[in-house]
Amino acid sequence: MTAPPAVGSYLTVFGYDDDKEEMYSLDTYKLTLTAAGRVDSYGDIELAVAAV
């Protein structure tokens, strides 16, 4: 079995709402490239960063 090719992922943040504690972004790896993008809570981002 061979390893899959290296894949890059870029998360482009285009907005945030401190009142809702949300970040709005586009993720090239998950292909959320619609105008709506993706929404992540600040808590989810903190967990993801801590896991790296």
Q: What is the pLDDT of residue 16?
A: 94
40 pLDDT more than 80:
yes
* Whole-number Å distance between alpha carbons of 12 and 22: 14
Q: What is the pLDDT of residue 8?
A: 67
If we measure between CA atoms, which residue out of 24, 26, 29 comes closest to residue 44?
A: 24
Q: pLDDT grade, residue 7 (50/70/90)?
A: low
Q: Is the Cβ–Cβ distance between 37 and 22 less than 8 Å?
A: no
Mean pLDDT of 7-22: 86
